[in-house]
Copies of this chain bind each other. A is one copy, B any other.
Amino acid sequence: MDKFDKKILTALHENARISYAELARRVNLSAPAVADRVEKLEHAGVITGYHARINPAKIGYPIQGLIELTVKHQDYYIVMEQLGTMPEILECFSVTGTSGLLLKVAVHSMPDLQALIARLMQYGDTKTSIVIDVPVPLRMPEVVETE
């Protein structure tokens, strides 16, 4: 993980669709060299994917929420299975503390949010917040050069 890898990660985090040729120009290496490094970063698990970021509000999901779900321990695996079947759930974190799970969700309407909460309440207590704004949209940790 040197300064080249650092620049590669930064550039691909900023725009994952740039060509190897363009990436090569930005980091001052040849295209085969950067392609090689990118492949190594993928294989090492540093880069785990490339994703288009889609604005939920523009495709019919104007309401985003965060739901803390306090699951009874014996239901944990049943819940995890169920979460996979609910398309409104965009992301899920298993966390320490009483709640156990934090879900990021997007829904069409308030009644839909209510229905989702009702469904989740089968598995434990819920505490819901509505997302008003996302002031820091997405950032990458500062890469620490090694070796």
Residues of A within 8 A of B (CB): 1, 9, 12-17, 44-56, 58-61, 66, 80, 83-84, 87-97, 99, 102, 106, 108, 127, 129-144, 146
Contacts and interface: CB of A to CB of B under 8 A. Distances in A.
B45 A55 contact: yes
Nearest to A97: B129
Contacts of A17: 16-17, 50
16 contacts: A9-B54, A16-B17, A17-B50, A49-B53, A50-B50, A50-B51, A54-B141, A59-B144, A61-B141, A87-B139, A90-B141, A91-B138, A94-B135, A96-B132, A97-B127, A102-B129
Contacts of A9: 52, 54, 59
A83 B144 CA distance: 20
A141 B50 contact: no
Contact of A51 (B51, B80, B130, B131): B51
A46 B59 CA distance: 7
Contact of A93 (B66, B96, B106): B66
Contacts of A16: 16-17, 50-52
Contacts of A83: 135-136
